[in-house]
């Protein structure tokens, strides 16, 4: 038996059989060929090139069928040209004949040499071609090695998934019926893999560092998403203990559902709106079931992941309209595409960056890709005919960026008007406050938007310079850092002064002790994973606003994160008599 400690990313306790997913990387070893093997090896290579070419053509066709402009398919043509480039192919064949070594080895050496030459050229255009070469060579290598990225949707047994890493798209494709829980080596509490797990209500522990080292297929494991532990090969006593804990947890969850229709009202009568974050429209049922008052954040990225071409305007219109109808009469806040960071568009190397969280992400990507941004804006506008839709723009760092996004929205409005397509011209527009610059100019931004939502997941990473997905520095990711509390206060004050509404949609909104602190600081809407709503509601219903406002003022006077956590803990122990229920001091504990 071995207990591994990680970060509890999604609550719940599961006991099950492990299934280990191996990570994708090309491990290529040289192998000598006999004279007889040489021509067969070359045929294998030619087949891989032909299959890659066919694959690219299929993707291109699908792209055109979706009605995309032919200029956008240029990339596919470039890739096909590359496949036919003698430097990439003929040279490989020549060397296989000459050196009599396996083709994947020769080919990857060949590609490395080309990469080296390209990476040193000063010309930006040529350097860009390097990415095309990597895309094409990766495709051929996958064919040669018969490697396809494993799909998680093929699982047909109930398992606990163990992986080094999972992309948010892979997490989104998990079938809750079969993936009972998962644990990964890497990842932080606010990585999108973790957020997705919470949304799907799949218990998860991330950032364990050694889970793939110690767990083998078919091992019995306990995943405790509350404590953030994974127990490998538990002994009888541990199994019994966890059976009891699991029952207790499920029972407390059942009791909480009774609060579903009660308001999140403090004992002195102040109401807090609790709404849900969703990643996929299918989560709306769960949001409503947990008593959400609307959708405070619809992350639209997941509609774009796990596919080779973006969804068309009509497809998006249908999705957003349907979502708006389901949530009606409550509002739904739809976020424009926040691609980048840990949510990359497929394996297309055009979008890969060394430092993606600081790169061409979210609004930056959208402004650089009007062919993707405009149809999304049109679709969101069209959905306003079906419910109370609001638009929110992520990762804004300046007023100019906001204005450029709004100018694009104006264009979309003008077009729809000219086409006679109905929409609400008054659709509220907001910005995510998730960069330190947006905090500092919140007063300026407030003049040109209808509402703010603070994305603390990013705000904390950008303000404290702590990568949100890096488990090695998870202890530095401190929502209770005095710098963060002061930033939140700045935004609360700016929004009040300008009369724009404010919510918080980062993960801390669903964290029990921190939710109280946020309300104490003056926030009146919290948007969180649906499953967190009942417990946060229960906690809010057990305190008075006066008391938590006092707590927030005291916290603003403190100098360190440790002091802030100690004060929160001390106060909650006093204010909430049965505080033992609130063992989930997750953030406060890190
Ligand atoms: C945030 O940054 O807090 C947020 C809600 O957005 P995301 O987690 O999708 O980056
Ligand atoms: Mg964010």
User: Is the distance from CB of 365 to CB of 344 less than 8 angstroms?
Assistant: no
Q: Give the CATH number of the domain where residue 205 resides.
A: 3.50.30.10
The verdict on 364 and 392 lying in the same domain is: yes
Mean pLDDT of 115-120: 76
The least confident of 70-74, 259-263, 414-418 is 70-74
- For residue 332, the cross-strand partners are 295, 389
**pLDDT on residue 585:** 46
The verdict on 288 and 230 lying in the same domain is: no
Residue 392 lies in a domain: yes
Residue 551 lies in a domain: yes
The verdict on 304 and 354 lying in the same domain is: yes
Whether pTM > 0.85 for this model: the answer is no
- Ligand having the closest approach to the CA of 510: 1
Does residue 587 surpass a pLDDT of 60? no
pLDDT tens for 457-499 read 999 999 999 999 998 999 999 999 999 999 999 999 999 999 9
User: Is the distance from CB of 221 to CB of 18 less than 8 angstroms?
Assistant: yes
Does residue 269 surpass a pLDDT of 70? yes
**pLDDT on residue 583:** 47
User: Is the distance from CB of 506 to CB of 460 less than 8 angstroms?
Assistant: yes
Mean pLDDT of 307-316: 90
**pLDDT on residue 52:** 86
Domain end among 145, 170, 199: 145
Residue 32 lies in a domain: no
The finding on whether 299 has its CB within 6 A of some atom of ligand 1 is yes
- Ligand having the closest approach to the CA of 190: 1
The finding on whether 273 has its CB within 6 A of some atom of ligand 1 is no
Q: Give the CATH number of the domain where residue 341 resides.
A: 3.20.20.60
The verdict on 94 and 123 lying in the same domain is: yes
3-state secondary structure of 475: helix
Q: Considering only CA atoms, which residue is closest to atom 6 of ligand 1?
A: 455
Residues 447, 389, 502, 297: is their CA dihedral positive or negative? negative
**Structure tokens, 191:** 């990585």
Q: Considering only CA atoms, which residue is closest to atom 4 of ligand 1?
A: 455
Place of tokens 């229920």: 581
The finding on whether 198 has its CB within 6 A of some atom of ligand 1 is no
The verdict on 124 and 179 lying in the same domain is: no
The verdict on 17 and 88 lying in the same domain is: no
pLDDT tens for 426-458 read 999 999 999 999 999 999 999 999 999 999 999
Judge whether 360 counts as a catalytic residue. no
| Alpha-carbon gap, residue 25 to 141, rounded angstroms | 11
Ligand 1 atom at minimum distance from 192 CA = 8
| Alpha-carbon gap, residue 310 to 265, rounded angstroms | 42
Domain end among 126, 145, 164: 145
Q: Which of 187, 190, 298, 511 to mutate to test the pocket of ligand 1 (most atoms within 8 A of CB)?
A: 190
The verdict on 194 and 288 lying in the same domain is: no
The verdict on 493 and 561 lying in the same domain is: yes
Residue 265 lies in a domain: no
Average pLDDT of the residues of the chain: 89
Which of 62 and 258 is assigned the larger pLDDT?
258
3-state secondary structure of 34: coil
Does residue 589 surpass a pLDDT of 50? no
Does residue 582 surpass a pLDDT of 60? no
- What percent of the chain stands above pLDDT 90? 67
Task: Tell me the range of 106-110, 480-484, 585-589 where mean pLDDT is highest.
Answer: 480-484
Domain end among 98, 129, 145: 145
Residue 249 lies in a domain: no
Does residue 56 surpass a pLDDT of 90? no
Residue 487 lies in a domain: yes
**Structure tokens, 459:** 């705000």
Which strand ranges, in their side-by-side order, compose the sheet holding 229-232?
2-5, 229-232, 220-224, 13-21, 159-163, 179-184, 204-206, 7-10
Q: Angle at Cα 285 formed by Cα 280 and Cα 289, nearest 5°?
A: 135
pLDDT tens for 8-18 read 999 999 999 99
Contacts made by residues 142-145, CB under 8 angstroms, sequence distance 24+: 143/47, 143/48, 143/51, 143/52, 144/44, 144/45, 144/48, 144/103, 144/104, 144/107, 145/26, 145/28, 145/104
Mean pLDDT of 322-343: 95
Does residue 149 surpass a pLDDT of 70? no
Residue 433 lies in a domain: yes
**Ligand 2 center from residue 483 Cα (angstroms):** 18
The verdict on 378 and 284 lying in the same domain is: yes
- For residue 7, the cross-strand partners are 206
3-state secondary structure of 144: helix
**pLDDT on residue 69:** 64
Q: Give the CATH number of the domain where residue 121 resides.
A: 1.10.274.10
Mean pLDDT of 81-110: 89
The verdict on 221 and 88 lying in the same domain is: no
**pLDDT on residue 339:** 92
The total number of structural domains that make up the chain: 3
Catalytic residue among 68, 79, 164, 192: 192
**Ligand 1 center from residue 356 Cα (angstroms):** 15
Mean pLDDT of 375-381: 98
Residue 103 CA: distances (Å) to CA of 50, 55, 94, 95, 270: 15, 20, 10, 9, 70
The verdict on 331 and 204 lying in the same domain is: no
Does residue 348 surpass a pLDDT of 90? no
Judge whether 505 counts as a catalytic residue. yes
The verdict on 129 and 172 lying in the same domain is: no
| Alpha-carbon gap, residue 491 to 433, rounded angstroms | 8
Identify the domain containing residue 66 by its residue range.
Answer: 38-145
Mean pLDDT of 146-161: 72
Residue 402 lies in a domain: yes
């Amino acid at each position: 038996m071995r207990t591994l400690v990680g970060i509890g990313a999604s609550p719940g306790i599961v006991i099950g059989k492990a299934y280990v997913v191996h990570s994708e990387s090309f491990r290529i070893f040289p192998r000598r060929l006999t004279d007889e093997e040489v021509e067969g090896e070359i045929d294998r290579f030619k087949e891989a090139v032909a299959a890659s070419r066919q694959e690219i053509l299929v993707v291109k066709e699908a792209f055109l069928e979706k009605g995309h402009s032919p200029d956008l398919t240029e990339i596919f043509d470039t890739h096909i040209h590359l496949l036919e480039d003698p430097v990439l192919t003929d040279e490989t064949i020549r060397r296989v004949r000459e050196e009599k070594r396996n083709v994947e080895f020769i080919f990857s050496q060949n590609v490395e040499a080309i990469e080296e030459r390209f990476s040193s050229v000063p010309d930006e255009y040529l350097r860009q071609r390097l990415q095309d070469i990597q895309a094409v060579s990766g495709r051929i290598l996958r064919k040669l090695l018969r490697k396809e990225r494993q799909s998680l949707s093929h699982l047909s047994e109930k398992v606990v998934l163990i992986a080094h890493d999972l992309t948010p798209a892979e997490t989104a494709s998990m079938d809750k019926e079969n993936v009972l829980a998962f644990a990964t080596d890497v990842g932080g509490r606010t990585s999108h893999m973790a957020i997705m797990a919470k949304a799907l209500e799949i218990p998860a522990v991330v950032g364990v560092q050694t889970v793939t080292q110690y767990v083998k297929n078919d091992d019995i494991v306990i995943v405790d998403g509350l404590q953030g532990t994974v127990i490998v090969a538990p002994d009888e006593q541990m199994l019994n203990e966890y059976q009891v804990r699991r029952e207790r947890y499920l029972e407390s969850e059942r009791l909480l559902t009774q609060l579903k229709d009660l308001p999140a009202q403090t004992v002195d009568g102040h109401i807090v709106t609790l709404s849900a974050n969703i990643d996929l429209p299918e989560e709306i049922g769960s949001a409503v079931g947990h008593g959400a008052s609307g959708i405070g954040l619809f992350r639209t990225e997941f509609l774009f992941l796990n596919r080779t071409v973006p969804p068309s305007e009509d497809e998006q219109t249908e999705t957003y309209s349907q979502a708006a109808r389901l949530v009606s009469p409550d509002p739904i806040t739809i976020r424009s595409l926040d691609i980048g960071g840990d949510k990359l568009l497929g394996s297309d190397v055009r979008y890969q960056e060394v430092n993606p969280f600081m790169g061409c992400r979210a609004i930056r990507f959208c402004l650089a890709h009007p062919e993707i941004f405009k149809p999304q804006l049109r679709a969101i506008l069209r959905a306003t005919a079906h419910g109370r839709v609001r638009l929110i723009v992520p990762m804004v760092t300046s007023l100019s960026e906001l204005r450029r996004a709004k100018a694009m929205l104006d264009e979309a409005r003008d077009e729809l008007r000219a086409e006679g397509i109905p929409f609400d011209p008054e659709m509220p527009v907001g910005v995510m406050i998730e960069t330190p610059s947006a905090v500092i100019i919140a007063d300026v931004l407030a003049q040109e938007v209808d509402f703010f939502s603070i994305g603390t997941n990013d705000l904390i990473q950008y303000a404290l310079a702590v990568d949100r997905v890096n488990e090695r520095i998870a202890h530095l990711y401190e929502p209770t850092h005095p710098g963060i509390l002061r930033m939140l206060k700045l935004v609360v004050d700016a929004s009040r002064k300008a009369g724009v509404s404010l919510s918080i949609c980062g993960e801390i909104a669903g964290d029990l002790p921190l939710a109280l602190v946020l309300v104490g600081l003056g926030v009146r809407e919290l948007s969180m994973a649906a499953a967190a709503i009942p417990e946060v509601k229960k906690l809010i219903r057990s305190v008075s606003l006066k008391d938590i406002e006092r707590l927030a003022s005291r916290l603003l006077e403190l100098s360190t994160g440790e002091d802030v956590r100690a004060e929160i803990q001390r106060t909650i122990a006093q204010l909430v008599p049965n505080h033992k229920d609130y063992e989930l001091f997750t953030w406060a504990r890190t």
